[in-house]
Amino acid sequence: MSASRPFVVAAGLSGAAGVALSAAAAHHGGSTLSTAATMLLAHAPALLAVGLAGGSRLLRAAGGVLLAGLAVFSLDLLSRHYLGGRLFPFAAPIGGAAMIAGWLGIAAAGALWPRSGS
């Protein structure tokens, strides 16, 4: 199994954005910034793991759904803070549901992971 570069890159960008938004929230306030930072930082290690594991198509698809949900959710919160409005109607709930689906897909990929040496 080989590494999946896009997920490793996304993990690095997610972590960096999470740290930057944490600093912005600390200096300028804003619960939406803090929430976006928390989500980005919490999901960066999962994206890194998906990228480094390579894994099955199911794992990569679940990682893609997780990444898409994280992007939509975080961008909606940033849009609310910096632009004063939503990214699009129901963006945060759609992004949140996608993140949940991504995590469930990762769980399914883990349950179906082939056993080695058995």
Domain boundaries, the chain: 5-110
What is d(CA 7, CA 54) in angstroms, rounded to the nearest whole number?
9
Q: Answer yes or no: is pLDDT of 98 > 90.
A: yes
pLDDT of residue 114: 80
pLDDT of residue 28: 85
Taking alpha carbons only, the member of 28, 66, 61, 30 closest to residue 46 is 66
3-state secondary structure of 21: helix
Q: What is the mean pLDDT of residues 31-57?
A: 94
Q: What is the mean pLDDT of residues 36-47?
A: 97
| Per-residue pLDDT reduced to its tens digit, 63-72 | 999 999 999 9
Q: Mean pLDDT over all residues of the chain?
A: 93
3-state secondary structure of 52: helix
What is d(CA 62, CA 104) in angstroms, rounded to the nearest whole number?
8
Q: Answer yes or no: is pLDDT of 54 > 90.
A: no
What is d(CA 92, CA 39) in angstroms, rounded to the nearest whole number?
12
| Per-residue pLDDT reduced to its tens digit, 71-81 | 999 999 999 99
Tokens 């999946």 found at: 4
Residue 117's pLDDT band (cuts 50, 70, 90): low
